[in-house]
C-alpha cells in the first residue's frame, strides 16, 4: 500500500472539496505550521478522516495525535511526506 496515494491524498482531496480550499497535492504540501493549508477546524477534520481511512484500509485503529506530538517542534504533520513516514512507523508498530 502506498501511504501517500492510498491514504493521505484521498483525505486531502475530500477536505479540499468540502472546505473549498485551493491547493495542489504534493509531498511538500504543508499540513501544519505557519504556511499550513488548513485552519484549526479543517486540521482536526483531516486528522479524524485520516484515522478513519487508515482503519478502513488496514483494520488498524491507530491514534495519530497526542498532546506530546502536537508540542514537538518537528511535527509529524509538517508536510505530506513527513506524515507518510510517521504513519508508516505507526502501522509497523501496530
The pLDDT, as a whole number, for residue 72 is 74
What is the domain range of residue 68? 3-93
DSSP state of 4: I
Domain count, the chain: 1
Give the model's confidence band at 66: pLDDT under 50 very low, under 70 low, under 90 confident, else very high.
confident
Q: What is the pLDDT of residue 69?
A: 79
Dist CA 31 CA 14 (whole Å)? 14
3-state secondary structure of 30: strand
pLDDT > 90 in the chain, percent? 83
Q: What is the DSSP letter of 66?
A: -
CATH number of the domain at 10, please.
1.10.1200
Amino acid at each position: 500500500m502506498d501511504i501517500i496515494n492510498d491514504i493521505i491524498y484521498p483525505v486531502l482531496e475530500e477536505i479540499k472539496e468540502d472546505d473549498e480550499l485551493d491547493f495542489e497535492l504534493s509531498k511538500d504540501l504543508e499540513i501544519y505550521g505557519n504556511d499550513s493549508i488548513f485552519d484549526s477546524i479543517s486540521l482536526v477534520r483531516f486528522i479524524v478522516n485520516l484515522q478513519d481511512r487508515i482503519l478502513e484500509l488496514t483494520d488498524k485503529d491507530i491514534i495519530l495525535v497526542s498532546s506530546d506530538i502536537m508540542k514537538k517542534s518537528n511535527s509529524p504533520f509538517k508536510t505530506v511526506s513527513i506524515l507518510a513516514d510517521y504513519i508508516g512507523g505507526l502501522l509497523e508498530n501496530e
